[in-house]
Chains A and B, each alone.
Chain A
Amino acid sequence: MSRKLMVVLYAMLVLAGAMGLKTAVTAHGNGAPVLTADGRPAPAPW
């Protein structure tokens, strides 16, 4: 397999792993507001 195809395969694997992890984390959630990880104060929920 060419190197470029390997790169595409790795990228897809990482994406699938990341989205799978996120789905696993939020599977039992009820859509609670989630914030971003920096030091700034988060805005009030919508």
Chain B
Amino acid sequence: MLGPVDWFIWVLSLLFEASVIVCSLRRKSFRRYFLLNLYMLISVLISAGTFRLLLHYGRKSLEYRYFYFYSEALLIIVLYFALIGLYSRVFEEMRVERYVRLGAVLLLAGTACFTYAVVSQSSHRMLTYFVFELCQNLYFVGLVLTYVLWGAMLKLKETRALLVQIVLSLGVYFSAYAASYAISNLRPDLYSYTYRLFPIIGCLLPLAWAYAIWRVPEDARLAPARLAVVPR
């Protein structure tokens, strides 16, 4: 059974995700950041499905496990395309959207092929392992892509404050996930503590986005000097 802390974190996460959509609608930026909002919308719907499954079948059931990991694959793929959408926004003046899309599809296909090559030797529940491994791999691909995007933003002296906030919060999210992943693997004896880190990290991303969309106007600009220290 779920403890009160699990319920609290889950409800908080659900509220933050819904608040991203509400803030976007209030700020009239739903279409501008459509993929980010789509990610949050799907996340809310999946949470509702998860709640229903949890009540009907319980946390230890196969139905809940399969739904959890397959829905997670859907979520991380949508988040991947949301990140690619941020690439398109950063490079929109260079008119390279076609190449960004090509790179995104190639990278996703490459990740899927790599994952298949890794799990193909396991004949037992191969599809489930494939989905699970693909999720993990896409988190790390997302981490690298976010840092590459941040490097490009520094190089291009990107000053749109909202875009900067969204990309930085994604960077923190992926970095925290990778750090928790590392701790879970390096110190499995701490698992009873570290397993709580993952849902907490999941809460922080929608909170940061909701805050950014609500508080930072679309036309707000940062001074380039605040983004990078230029050597004299």
Contact = CB atoms under 8 A, between A and B. Distances in A.
A40 to B, nearest CB: 5
B139 interface: yes
Given A15-B107, A37-B139, A37-B173, A43 B72 contact: no
Nearest to B62: A43
Main secondary structure of the interface of B (DSSP, over half): helix
A40 B144 contact: no
15 contacts: A7-B106, A8-B103, A10-B103, A11-B103, A11-B107, A18-B143, A21-B143, A25-B182, A29-B186, A34-B185, A36-B76, A39-B10, A40-B202, A41-B10, A42-B199
Interface of A: 3-4, 7-8, 10-12, 14-15, 17-19, 21-22, 25-26, 28-30, 32-44, 46
- Going nearest first, the 8 A-B pairs with the smallest beta carbon separation are A39-B13, A29-B185, A38-B202, A32-B188, A18-B140, A43-B65, A11-B106, A18-B141
